[in-house]
Chain A
Amino acid sequence: MISVKNISYRIAQQRILDDINALFDAGKISAILGPNGAGKSTLLQCLTGALKPDYGCVTLDGRNLEAYSLVDLSKKRAVLSQSITVSFPFTALEIVLMGRSPFTLNNNSSVDNEIAHETLDLMDAWHLKDRSFPTLSGGEQQRVQFARVLSQIWDQKNAYLFLDEPTSALDLKHQYKVMEIIQNQCVEKFLTVIIVMHDLNIAYQNTDTSYFIKNGQVQVFGASKDVICSDILSDIYDLPLSYAAQHVNYGRNSSHV
């Protein structure tokens, strides 16, 4: 469980986050939604410990985030960032094995290799294992990075999984697959999953709770099925109600087919 109390973050006098409160439960998938530049990624980075909020605190399992050492945290939480460029020709398998490094300080054991195999298989990327990572397509890179992130917390229960637009480069089939994997892992391992995303249909169908962020503040939050609706969308995204209604109806229909 993560609790966020009154966090604020500013860059050069500009408030990026303004007094945010939130609660993310274990075994649940939460979405952070909102327009571009709303502060979603900044909030995520405050939750992962990459950024230190100017004010307020974040607690993991009731313990202040700052009280954890980097090594302890690396065994508890994994983070998939938006875009990761690797300029050296590591193979996809080598990249995934890097995810195991918090647990094996030197050479990778057979357990790590098994985990890497499993996660790559799961992400439908085992056939890419010997390919050089920089030569993979955007979607393939995203799947390999996801496999790395999954293998980091593969044998942990109650761990935390932070994802920043995990499906942005994926085709429809892999979007579906990735969301299915997230749901299964979340239930099976009692993970706390927090996803920043733009695709409201995916959020509607796959997440339990949604937080809408705008101008650095939480505008609306609640069960995804309740809060992703036309009047809230038209308010948050400054859309004509008719357009927002279309958008959500599309989501409703496809989820009830």
Chain B
Amino acid sequence: MSLMSKQVTVRLPFLRFKFPSAILLGMLLLSAIILATSIGAVSIPVSDLVTSRLTEQQQAVLFSIRLPRVLLAIVVGVALAVSGAALQGLFRNPLADPGLIGISTSAALAVAIVIVFAGPLTGLLGLYSLSIAAFLGAIISCFVIFRFARLSGKFSVTYMLLTGIALNAICAAGVGILTFLSNDEQLRTLTFWTMGSLGGALWPSVIVAATIVVPASILLIRSARELNLLLLGENEARYLGVDEEKLKRMVIIATALTVGAAISVSGIIGFVGLVVPHLVRLLLGPDHRLLIPASGILGASLLLVADTIARTIVAPAEMPVGILTSLIGGPFFLWLLVKQYSGRFGI
């Protein structure tokens, strides 16, 4: 795609480089992968990786711990960032984020219900059923938000955010009730889910998440042109030949699928879906044809780095990565609010 060759200027104090964005983002992801693979309780230096002179212990760690975790971070990062970008296009507002408007919490509530009432679920089947529950939670909330945001006939951002607040409160209360009802083991699982962590990374969860996230992301990337037109308004998109009802339905289902898949394997990891598309827009502009794939790559890279920090900063313990992303994302969100002083983003 010729768009991917869009030049990005990188400014350092005395230097300016121009890079095609694809190369820049590719390099970023590659270095994040190398960083995340080599750092940890058992260090796997890059030189050993390249020459494949690994000890047995290193090999075991690489294949059964490090690699699935790296891949899961990539899949979840892509899922969150891509769905964030697509949702912002759908809601025609840069403040839409699965966490912010209650989609993630609804998915988490659905997951919590399954954990507490369906008993222990293991293996691929269990993971898929958690994914399906999360998907259902996400899609119901998407439709609720859409309905409420359009109560007045016209789409209102205020209503979207307020509906999000209400949904977040309702679902948080729901999770609270379930916490109250749950036994010790379920409680641990629930806590893990609400804080967001990639600590449970095993091959099955990577496979389950990837089989959902990859096709759904491709679907979203392919609707990028139509999403651009939707930004002009629903009627304008229609006048330009886009079946906007079909497009909206498709985007809602695809984002609910990706968010659901991500949440069922990693819990709620906030703000990635908000921050990443913003950074990409600052660098490359708002064109969805570039924004969605680039957000995917940047989201994967950022979550990889964040997860690497989260699992090493308080070693040998591990910090849930969701806490870290919220710690960084929260202030970023506030900065965003200050920056759009003039109501430019239609609040």
Is B241's CB under 8 angstroms from A87's CB? no
Is B281's CB under 8 angstroms from A81's CB? no
CB distance from A105 to the nearest CB of B (A): 7
Is B241's CB under 8 angstroms from A73's CB? yes
Q: Which residues of A contact B243 (CB under 8 A)?
A: 70
Partner of B93, one of A87, A95, A102: A87
Residues of A in contact, count (CB < 8 Å): 33
A37 beta carbon closer than 8 Å to chain B: no
Is A102's CB under 8 angstroms from B231's CB? no
Partner of B94, one of A50, A88, A99, A135: A88
Q: How many angstroms from the CA of A85 to the CA of B228 in the assembled complex?
A: 13
Chain B 274-294 interface 0/1 with A at a Cβ cutoff of 8 Å (1 = within): 000000010001110000000
CB distance from B20 to the nearest CB of A (A): 16
Given A81-B235, A85-B346, A89-B281, residue A98 in contact with residue B228 (CB < 8 A): yes
B314 beta carbon closer than 8 Å to chain A: no
Is A74's CB under 8 angstroms from B241's CB? yes
What's the interface size class on B, roughly?
20 to 34
CB distance from B288 to the nearest CB of A (A): 9
Q: How many angstroms from the CA of A90 to the CA of B243 in the assembled complex?
A: 22
Q: Nearest A residue to B287 by beta-carbon distance?
A: A94
Is B235's CB under 8 angstroms from A79's CB? yes
Main secondary structure of the interface of B (DSSP, over half): loop
CB distance from B87 to the nearest CB of A (A): 13
Is B3's CB under 8 angstroms from A107's CB? yes
Q: Which residues of B contact A252 (CB under 8 A)?
A: none
B238 beta carbon closer than 8 Å to chain A: yes
Is B241's CB under 8 angstroms from A71's CB? yes
Chain B 1-42 interface 0/1 with A at a Cβ cutoff of 8 Å (1 = within): 111000000000000000000000000000000000000000
Given A84-B233, A87-B93, A107-B2, residue A98 in contact with residue B240 (CB < 8 A): yes
Is A81's CB under 8 angstroms from B3's CB? no
Given A87-B94, A89-B281, residue A101 in contact with residue B241 (CB < 8 A): yes
B92 beta carbon closer than 8 Å to chain A: yes
Q: Which positions in B face A, CB cutoff 8 Å?
A: 1-3, 92-94, 225, 228-229, 231-233, 235-236, 238-243, 281, 285-287, 344-346
Q: Which positions in A face B, CB cutoff 8 Å?
A: 45, 48-50, 70-71, 73-75, 77-79, 81, 84-91, 94-95, 98-99, 101-102, 105-107, 134-135, 152
Given contacts A71-B241, A73-B241, A87-B94, 7 further A-B contacts (CB under 8 A): A73-B239, A74-B239, A75-B241, A89-B285, A95-B232, A98-B229, A102-B240
4 closest A-B pairs by beta carbon, nearest first, are: A74-B241, A88-B286, A71-B241, A87-B346
Would you mind naming 20 contact pairs between A and B with Cβ atoms under 8 Å apart?
A45-B235, A73-B241, A78-B239, A87-B346, A88-B231, A88-B281, A89-B281, A90-B231, A90-B285, A90-B287, A98-B229, A98-B240, A101-B228, A101-B241, A102-B240, A105-B225, A107-B2, A135-B344, A152-B239, A152-B240
